[in-house]
Chain A
Amino acid sequence: DQQVKQNSPSLSVQEGRISILNCDYTNSMFDYFLWYKKYPAEGPTFLISISSIKDKNEDGRFTVFLNKSAKHLSLHIVPSQPGDSAVYFCAASGAAGNKLTFGGGTRVLVKP
C-alpha cells in the first residue's frame, strides 16, 4: 500500500525552464511534507518542506505547493539548472513525529 506516490519516474527539462514534480498521498493523517534531493552514491538531502496549515512555501528557486483537498503537492524549480539533475523524493509525516513515508522518486534531467 503506497501512501505516497510519485507517478512520474522521470522528467527532462531544458536549462532555464520550469521543472514541475508531482506527488500524491492517500493518508489524511499526514500533515507535514518534505522534498529531498538525491545525487548518485550520496544520501538524500533536505530541500524544502511545507506544513498542512500552508498552501505554499518558497525558498529561492524552489517552491512547494500543497492542495490538501486533492491530497496533492508539487515542487516547482525555476529556473532549472544542470546541477538540479538528481532524483527527487517526496516524503510525508504525521503529527506524532517525523517518521517519514517516502514516494518512489522522480529522476530529473536538466539539459544545458
Chain B
Amino acid sequence: EAGVAQSPRYKIIEKRQSVAFWCNPISGHATLYWYQQILGQGPKLLIQFQNNGVVDDSQLPKDRFSAERLKGVDSTLKIQPAKLEDSAVYLCASSLVGGLNSPLHFGNGTRLTVT
C-alpha cells in the first residue's frame, strides 16, 4: 500500500511570511493527524481529524496555525505569520480509526526553517 505522502520535503521562509504543507493519507484511513517535531524533541500533536471533522486541536496555536481536511481525504496545514520558533519538522500521520490498536502511519515530514 502507498504510504502517507507529504509535500514539500523542505521549506525555508523568513519570519512573518506564510507557508502551507500538504498531506495525502493512506487510502481508507479515516483519521489524520498533524504533529510538530522540534529538533531534539518528540513529536507533539497539533490537530487530529476524524474524516473531515476536528477531534482535537487543543495544542494548535490558533492565532497563526490553521488546518483543514476537505472531503475527508487530503489535508493542508498553514502557518501565517511564521515565527522563528516554528522551525521544526511537520509530520502528517493517518490511521484506520481513531482508537487504540490502530497504529499511526507517518509520512516523511516537511522540514521548515524560519529565518
Contact = CB atoms under 8 A, between A and B. Distances in A.
B91 interface: yes
A45 B106 CA distance: 7
B22 to A, nearest CB: 15
Interface string B85-107: 00000010101001111111111
B40 A102 contact: no
Contact of A43 (B40, B42, B93, B99): B93
Interface in A38-91: 41-46, 49, 51, 89, 91
B100 to A, nearest CB: 5
Contact of B95 (A45, A49, A98, A103): A98
User: On chain B, which size bracket covers the interface?
Assistant: 20 to 34
Nearest to A95: B100
B56 interface: yes
Given A43-B4, A43-B109, A45-B106, A97 B44 contact: no
A85 B11 CA distance: 27
A34 B99 CA distance: 13
| Chain B, interface SS category | loop
Nearest to B92: A43
Given A43-B4, A44-B106, A46-B105, A103 B100 contact: no
B104 A46 contact: yes
Contacts of B43: 44, 89, 100, 102
Interface in B34-56: 40-45, 48, 55-56
Contacts of A36: 106
A104 B103 CA distance: 19
Interface of B: 4, 40-45, 48, 55-56, 91, 93, 95, 98-109
26 contacts: A4-B42, A36-B106, A42-B108, A42-B109, A43-B4, A43-B91, A43-B107, A43-B108, A43-B109, A44-B43, A44-B91, A45-B106, A46-B105, A89-B42, A91-B42, A95-B100, A97-B98, A97-B99, A97-B100, A98-B98, A99-B45, A99-B48, A100-B43, A101-B45, A104-B41, A105-B40
